[in-house]
Amino acid sequence: MSTDYKSIEQKMQKCIEVLTGELAHIRAGRATAAVLDKIAVDYYGTPTPVAQIATVAVPEPRILTITPWDASVLKSIEKAILQSDLGLNPTNDGKTIRLVFPPLTEERRKELAKLAKKYGEDAKVALRNVRRDALEKFKAMKKKGEMTEDDLKAAEKEVQNMTDKYTKNVDKVVADKEKEILEV
């Protein structure tokens, strides 16, 4: 029985990890290498993440530098950044690309906060799906006679407690990101 709870808890933890990964891609006016995670550069015919072909550094809070190991890929990186939805203009000095993160407008901050909330809602839906799957499994076990009515009630209560705990966790993660986004 306890191993069932462990796998349910792992699935719920994975929902939180996915959420924090998604939120890391939302730029909050500060430079962070995570904004480049979704950008793939055409490197000898293969879409390759920027971090695998260059050194990414944050020399100042609002500046990101990208120094490719192979200078021939500089233009490709610049092009990929321009085509992305980051809304940043890269400056290329022949060796390094600099990305300057301008302060966000109030309107853009609100849009990003809304996006963070949407990611939070998606995570909550995923948590509820994990809960539903677990409860269906427990009900099937009761039907087969592998679990008593009391065990089923206890299992339902335990899964609900886990769901509540992780839902609070989602709310906290989203609230922290919103605070970071709305901070001027």
Q: Read off the CATH number of the domain in which 17 is found.
A: 1.10.132.20
Q: Give the domain-ending residue among 85, 100, 115.
A: 100
Looking at residue 2, its pLDDT comes to 47
User: Could you tell me the end-to-end alpha-carbon distance of the chain, in angstroms, rounded to an integer?
Assistant: 49
Rounded mean pLDDT for each run of 10 residues along the chain, 184 residues in total: 75 92 76 80 86 88 87 87 80 88 82 90 94 92 88 91 94 90 76
Name the token pair of 139: 């009900």
Domain, as residue range, for 166: 2-24+105-182
Q: Return the C-alpha torsion angle 25, 49, 33, 97, nearest 10.
A: -120
Q: Give the domain-ending residue among 52, 82, 100.
A: 100
Could you tell me the pTM of the whole model?
0.70
Looking at residue 27, its pLDDT comes to 67
Instruction: At 63, give phi and psi (nearest 5°).
Output: -130, 135
Tokens 């971090």 identify what position? 51
Tokens 């069932």 identify what position? 4
The answer to whether residues 78 and 109 belong to one domain is no
Looking at residue 131, its pLDDT comes to 94
Number of domains the chain is built from = 2
Task: Spell out the alpha helix ranges (H) of 25-148.
Answer: 74-83, 106-143
The answer to whether residues 93 and 114 belong to one domain is no
